[in-house]
Amino acid sequence: MSPLITAGYRLQLNEIPYGPPPSVREALSAALASANRYPEFLPQRLPRLIAERLGCAPDRIVVGAGATGVIMHIVQEFGSGAAEVVMATPTFDGFPILTTMAGGRPVAVPLTESGRQDLAALAAAVTERTRLIVVCRPHNPTGTMVPAAEFEDFLHEIPAAVTVVLDEAYVDFVARADRIDVLALLERHPNLLVLRTFSKAYGLAALRVGYALGAPELIERIARWQLPFGMTGLAEVAVRACYEAEHEIEARVALLGEHRDHLTGGLRGLGLSVPDSYANFSYLTLPGPEADRVATALAGADIHVKSYPTGIRITVGDRAATDAVLATVRSTVQ
């Protein structure tokens, strides 16, 4: 589906259904008065801001045009020249697409039957040509989550020369008790990069702000690919304002969690298979022909979702969107 869709329910890109909080909108509006001025040649203030928030040194942070922009720089540095990049399939589309663009070779490892990333199979897929390996937590598109202890065991199996990317694009939807202490983990595993974005929980998808957190040596190598003047002047303003609006954003995340549980429970109530999701979407597991039939019915109701060979990913919208999805699916499967 086109990303320019505006009618109906736009549930295919994992956007949140709310615009920025009022205080963030006010900060952005005020910043437009300086739109005639270039941003920093290479971003320094934004990495410092994020580092201060996380409690680490700024040389551990590199920013980019959304998580996708950071991924592009990562694969340019580590995944080019026919290098292998090991990842699950399906996964976030950006990983195989950008790896191919950079001249690397995606190595796809199927998910388990329960929709989880197969860490043992990912580790076994590493060869002497492997330079990158990707794990999503939570996973996109299934919403499943690798336990923290299993992930660290996995890191011990990966050669130090292979860079591991932990994609935490949806970490803000994960309960704090289930999150990984990534700063401590990075101290033990300097070949790890943690990827995050402000496009999801923070609602800044249109501003394209993402970052990676890692050892200074890795961050320096990624940063050399940054485009001069490549980060907008609004990025720092928006991130600072979002940090100051933390309570509003946390309340929205909690509400979306309730809508996600309602969507998942409603689909299961129809006798359908949906794994527990720790993100802002639910994954309706269906074989290809059935998935095509349900996706066609949803499209006919002006509900736009993302289809995969094993099912359908449905972004959590507001209550009206959830009710529309459930009504359409109910009429299709019963």
If DSSP codes are grouped into helix, strand and coil, which group holds residue 222?
helix
**pLDDT at 326 > cutoff 90:** yes
Taking the alpha carbons at both ends of the chain, their separation in whole angstroms is 26
How far apart, in whole angstroms, are the C-alpha atoms of residue 173 and residue 189? 25
* pLDDT tier at 4, thresholds 50, 70, 90: very low
Domains 9-19+247-333 and 22-244 share a fold: no
Residues near 169 by Cβ (< 8 Å), separated by ≥ 6? 67, 92, 136, 140, 195, 196, 197, 199, 200
* pLDDT tier at 8, thresholds 50, 70, 90: confident
Q: What is the pLDDT of residues 30-52, one digit of tens each?
A: 999 999 999 999 999 999 999 99
Between 4 and 28, the more confident residue is 28
Reduced DSSP (H G I as helix, E B as strand, rest coil) percent helix, strand, coil of the chain, to 5: 45, 15, 40
Q: Specify the pTM.
A: 0.94
How far apart, in whole angstroms, are the C-alpha atoms of residue 114 and residue 311? 12
Share of the chain above pLDDT 70, in %: 98
Determine the average pLDDT of the residues in 96-106: 96
CATH architecture assignment, domain 9-19+247-333: Alpha-Beta Complex (3.90)
Tell me: domain 22-244, CATH 3.40.640.10, correct? yes
Bridge partners for 314 per DSSP: 282
Q: What is the pLDDT of residues 16-35, one digit of tens each?
A: 999 899 999 999 999 999 99
Q: Where are the domains of the chain?
A: 9-19+247-333, 22-244
